[in-house]
Amino acid sequence: MDGRIHSIESFGAVDGPGVRFVVFFQGCPLRCRFCHNPDTWNPEGGKLISAEAIVEKAERCRAYLPNGGVTLSGGEPLMQPTFALDILLRLREARLHSALDTAGMVPLAVSAPVIDAADMVLLDIKALDPNECIALTGQSNLNELSTLDYCEKTAKRTWIRHVLVPGITLETEKLKKLADFLKKYTCVEKVELLPFHKLGEFKWKELGIPYTLTDTPAPTPKEIEAANNLFVRE
């Protein structure tokens, strides 16, 4: 099975537990205002590669992944569900730990087999309020929250990821609501709050896409600490 990828990182440290071999898929249905890789949006971009070749590359890095594994990221891996599933099944055969990094914006009828094949899910919660999610990403969070419910139903090990954007998602009341909402999910092992940054702003300019967060600052260390404190489980 061939698919389109944007790039591969052989030593990822922020893409799941341990050191990870990260495969960045090409194609994404979202248009997140804070996206730092808008060059992954076009599903016809990137380069073609086979699932077999990806797993072979990962196996060559096995010595560096004793406590890590392979993460399928993006873009959005679930935009290429058959390709992603092929990779995950091959990783299982190779006994390499797998993580699926997804925004969960694909219907479960398509995504469920892929989620089932992954050892864990890194689920990006963009915004809890559906209207805010539309304003922030161009789509509602219906499929996203359905994905979280499915992970709970199947007891899939899950990490939640949420980007802290000052003036948008970095607001105490919104974060409290999200923290309270997540408390009922026993599948959620960890919540990672990711500070907004503008390292990919130049890509927007190169692609001729208006960037709306030029004047938005990065969160301060104190703001990040306060946000993390809201998610401490007793």
Q: What is d(CA 87, CA 75) in angstroms, rounded to the nearest whole number?
A: 16
Burial class (CB in 10 A: 0-12, 13-18, 19+), 122: buried
The SS3 assignment for 157 reads coil
Check if the beta carbon of residue 90 is closer than 8 Å to that of residue 51: yes
* pTM for the structure as a whole: 0.95
Pairing outcome for strands 2-12 and 20-25: antiparallel
Check if the beta carbon of residue 130 is closer than 8 Å to that of residue 94: no
- Chain segment 92-148, per-residue pLDDT in tens: 999 999 999 999 999 999 999 999 999 999 999 999 999 999 999 999 999 999 999
Q: Which residues contact 22 (CB under 8 A, 6 or more apart)?
A: 8, 9, 12, 15, 70, 71, 73
What residue has token string 């970095």? 170
- Chain segment 7-62, per-residue pLDDT in tens: 999 988 899 999 999 999 999 999 999 999 999 999 999 999 999 999 999 999 99
